[in-house]
Amino acid sequence: MNVTPSATSIKSSGFTLLELLIVLAVMGLMMGMVGFSLLGGGGAELGAAQRELLGLVQQARSRAALSGSETRLIINDVESDIDKYHRYLELVVKDTCATNGEVKWLVMGEGRYLTDGVYFVPENVSKAKTGDGWRSDAYSVWSKDDDFKLKDSFKGAREINGDSNFRYLAFDQVGNLVFPDSVDGATQVPPRLVIGVGSPIPTRDAELLRFDNPSSIAGILMRRYGGFAVLELEDFE
């Protein structure tokens, strides 16, 4: 005689749908906590900043190729501006007047800030106070280590030779990365944008920013022809 299993016997032989959902929710929470711990303190903010930075880098390269003009992702380097220093970014495109050769930089859209509490690690380690165990290569390398001074934006453009200094990542008119092959006879490493969880130093002496946690870093390593590699903690030496 065939016996049809009762609802009670089916329930006792495995998980109910509700139980499965609870297990999956707990597993998801645990995985999220593991991911956060691997990134160190400020992991969520750091991940958000890295994703936004990747998007801006891709926009800069695409804009250069589409416009046929050098395009730069510029980062505020005004030491007296505690709110914007190494946090504020703009995308600008070179515009040269055909009649007089005058150069200005057109601002593409609105400026952006990195996520609260996240800053670019300066190229000059003397400008930042870092915690014990800081990685030797966890600092930014720009397209060129020169001053890029612009005036305040007016009607969507910035004229050159202003008072505001910027660091920058540059792409030429076909979208290739701009950086020298060598500096003072030494091979130049490709640009590397490094971000970390930090805070400004109010006294604004020689050290302008502090990064206490050597595990709270991430970045992007650029390639000459526009490619890039995402840098996580284990990629730094």
Q: Catalogue all structural domains in the chain, each as residue range(s) with its CATH number.
A: 39-235 (3.55.40.10)
Q: What kind and span of H or E run contains 2?
A: none
What are the helix and strand counts (H, E) for the chain?
3, 17
pLDDT band of residue 9 (cuts 50, 70, 90) is very low
Across 188-194, average pLDDT: 92
- The 8-class DSSP code of residue 109 comes to S
Note the pLDDT tens digit of each residue in 73-114: 999 999 999 999 999 999 999 999 999 999 999 999 999 999
Give the global pTM.
0.80
- Report how far residue 106's alpha carbon sits from residue 126's, in angstroms, rounded to the nearest whole number: 32
- The answer to whether residue 220 scores a pLDDT higher than 90 is yes
Note the pLDDT tens digit of each residue in 32-51: 333 333 344 458 899 999 99
